[in-house]
Amino acid sequence: MNGDHELGMAATKLRPPASPIRLVERPRLGSLLSNALAKSIPLILVSAPAGSGKSTLVAAWALGQDRPVAWLQIEASDSDPVSFWSSLVAAIGRCRPEVRSTVGPLVIGAQGDERVVVSAIVNAVIDVSEPLIVVIDDYHLIDSGRVHRGVERLIDLCPPQLTVVICTRVDPPFRLGRMRVRNRLDEVRADDLRFDTGEATALLGASAGALSAQRLDDLCSRTEGWAAGLVLAGLSLERAADPNQFVEAFRGDDQLVVGYLSDELLDAMSAGDRQRLLETAVLDHLTGRLIDAVTGSVDGTGWLADVANRNQLIVRLDSTGEWFRYHHLLRDLLLLEARRTIPTRLPELHCRAAEWFAANGDSHQAVVHRFAAGDIPGAIQLMYSVGPDLLGRGQIRTLRGFLEQARDAATTDTACALGWGWCEYLSSRYESAQHWLGIAMDVAPPSFDPLIAAPLRINLALGSGDIATALDCAQLASASGDLWQRPAELATAVGAAYTWAGMHADARLALTVALGRCKAEQRMTAHVLTLIYVAIDEVEHGDNATAHAAAVEAVAVAASFGLANYHGVAPAFAIRGHTQTDPDEARADVTQALEIGRRATTDLGLAYVLMTCGDTLLDLGDDSGTALIVEARARIERCIDPGIAGRHLARVESRHHLRSPSTDTAGSHRVRLTERELAVLRYLPTKLSQRDIAAALYVSMNTVKTHANAIFRKLDVSDRKSAVQAARDRHLL
């Protein structure tokens, strides 16, 4: 979900909480924050235990600033790097709309890569001279090392006009000592946040009037100035027969609070209020309609406003009084009490919340509550829409977390198995991805559309250099006749299969569809890859000018999406370098192509980059290109069926006298194969050995060898892989 145009709850992530009814002015703390701001210190760290008043302090201070303040309220789901950076960019975008429009798509395209995203944020902020404050609240909920590294890098690169304020219960794993030495950090700690007697008097309001000055001092001492402890004490003081005696017995530590909630706060409420508090403890955020849906009430909006007015531990999240949340400390303790007193009702409450979120267009939260309810089948049903959405937004960590909660059920459900397949594929674990794809197909119901799995199947086949399998799947997709109505990833994958198979007309048609779908669906990675396949296809068919233009566009689009360092972009740099007229620019492109291309974990794409870069260097008189071509040959030999890549490499080797010239003149003469030879030919693109082929055809291995040699002779090739592509070029396969 994005910003203010989405469900109201999401927008509250990007706003500071509303001021409590009884806001205590704390100028001494405001001065600490303002002094750090005046010194242009990039990080202000507000670190203290729960209930210390961190968020209230910073929100009140931010309200009084004469410069824009971007606010991000962290949730547990923001540990996914894509979610975190998307949310942070959206928060900044409320003050700097151009940052959201330029950096937002880049976050998804770069899959939350902090090396890309942080630089883009810094560059966007530098372009505007006006100062900006960015507040990140509840940062302790982040448990991702990637996010921590990115935020620390953001602080290291902070321009003078940017100040980051982090509110957290525990110190983040930054190199804080280094920051202190370099004067890049200012801190507000628990000792600073303690309420003194005067501030405590203001916080307690009328309740303080029943206490002597000595007892007020004692109360501050017993609570150690802890804001939550003082608030809880104030609630009891309103009912205490002897306020001074109450202070003598009060202890403001966590253990007391647990007992207080069960023995004092909850017991002192009406049965209806108590019940509703416990029932709504399952919710991260509260609004009247949601409360009614979960508890079966009809006055949720009014009840919520009334309770919030009476209890400062219920935090108002917006100026309209629509969305609230329980103070984290209060919610934790309400959940403990709910698990103790109404444990059997909690699954039902989560299910009601899931139904409300689903009906209001928030399937992500609906899945969260289905899993919390233990309703794995219900959660899995929602994964049919949530899974592809998370994949499209690059939130692989979040998707993996959902799939882990599905546990063994993932082995019996096609959507979950495919989700696992994509997670493993995008993590370069191809054997595991193939395993999950197999499970998905094994458990698929008769009504399952196999084209849903086609993009993963094609990508895995291409990754292993198995063009025949990829081509079979691509032709099945094309035969459906509705490629233009399918997701962009399918058209891109189909275009890739046709490109590597050397089927120019089919490739051009599929890639044209893919470009349109990518733009319509804003699929960044697929868009870049589609342009790269266009470039490869045009090079293969001799149109270097068109290939160069496509490669130039691919690099530019990749850079705009934060994908310039993605290993899949390496062929674009290689082709741009090969079709350059300036030698220095060509060498620079070769260097970049090799640097990022070597991150690839599949043979086909890397072999293409190596051979193209080697060819370019040899054309420039640089003999180091020979080693690259030799390496490319080793990669090609590992491919089952490398398609045009094998033929292209043979041409490069021949042109630079690294191998005997190929006599293959694909398509220049008619070839007639016997029925027996055609039968053997159909097995050549597979992994089967000659002995296996013989067994499949019920003939001797010598017969297979004889037919294979005849095929090679008639096609003017010297090996099995070249024969496959030559036969494909002549439409024999």
Tokens matching residue 188:
């507000």
Instruction: Classify residue 214 by burial, with Cβ atoms within 10 Å: 0-12, 13-18, 19+.
Output: exposed
- Cα–Cα distance for residue pair 395/423, rounded to 1 Å: 10
Question: Which range in 127-136, 201-210, 321-330 is most confidently predicted, on average pLDDT?
Answer: 127-136
DSSP structural state of residue 268? T
For residue 669, which of 616, 716, 608 has the smallest C-alpha distance? 716
pLDDT of residue 661: 56
Global pTM reads: 0.75
SS (H, E, C) 559-619: HHCCCCCCHHHHHHHHHHHHCCCCHHHHHHHHHHHHHHHCCCCCHHHHHHHHHHHHHHHHH
User: pLDDT tens, 623-668?
Assistant: 999 999 999 999 998 888 898 998 889 889 988 988 765 544 444 5
C-alpha torsion angle, residues 399, 400, 401, 405 (rounded to 10): 100
Sorted by sequence, the CB contacts under 8 Å of residue 234 that are 6+ apart come out as: 203, 204, 205, 207
**Residue 512 to residues 177, 533, 534, 547, 557: CA-CA distances in angstroms?**
54, 11, 9, 15, 16
Rg over CA atoms, the chain? 32
User: pLDDT tens, 504-540?
Assistant: 999 999 999 999 999 888 888 889 999 999 999 999 8
Which residues, in sequence order, are bridge partners of residue 166?
Answer: 45, 136
Query: CATH for 675-729?
Result: 1.10.10.10
Any alpha helices (H) in 598-700, and if so which ranges? 603-619, 625-637, 644-655, 675-681, 690-697
Domains 342-448 and 454-655 share a fold: yes
Band (675; pLDDT cuts 50, 70, 90): confident
User: pLDDT tens, 336-379?
Assistant: 889 989 999 999 999 999 999 999 989 999 999 999 999 999 99
DSSP 75-98: -GGGGSHHHHHHHHHHHHHTT-HH
Tell which wins on pLDDT, 321 or 554: 554
pLDDT of residue 5: 38
Which residues, in sequence order, are bridge partners of residue 136?
Answer: 72, 166
Fold annotation for 342-448: 1.25.40
The region of weakest confidence among 35-44, 45-54, 528-537 is 45-54
**What spatial distance separates the first Cα and last Cα of the chain, rounded to whole Å?**
47
DSSP 239-258: T-SSHHHHHHH---SHHHHH
Mean confidence (pLDDT) of the chain: 87
DSSP structural state of residue 286? B
pLDDT of residue 451: 93
Amino acid in the structure at residue 65: Q
8 Å CB contact between 678 and 623: no
Query: CATH for 454-655?
Result: 1.25.40.10
Which H or E element spans position 46? Answer: strand 43-47
* Domain residue spans of the chain: 3-193, 197-265, 342-448, 454-655, 675-729
Sorted by sequence, the CB contacts under 8 Å of residue 105 that are 6+ apart come out as: 522, 524, 560, 561
- Cα–Cα distance for residue pair 561/569, rounded to 1 Å: 12
Which residues, in sequence order, are bridge partners of residue 162?
Answer: 132
pLDDT of residue 669: 59
Q: Which homologous superfamily is 3-193 in?
A: P-loop containing nucleotide triphosphate hydrolases (3.40.50.300)
pLDDT of residue 290: 96
**How many percent of the chain have pLDDT more than 70?**
93
pLDDT of residue 230: 79
Question: Which range in 244-253, 326-335, 552-561 is most confidently predicted, on average pLDDT?
Answer: 552-561
Which residues, in sequence order, are bridge partners of residue 326?
Answer: 314
Tell which wins on pLDDT, 456 or 203: 456
- Cα–Cα distance for residue pair 396/278, rounded to 1 Å: 33
pLDDT of residue 251: 57
Tokens matching residue 629:
């071509």
User: pLDDT tens, 607-616?
Assistant: 999 999 999 9
485-501: average pLDDT? 94
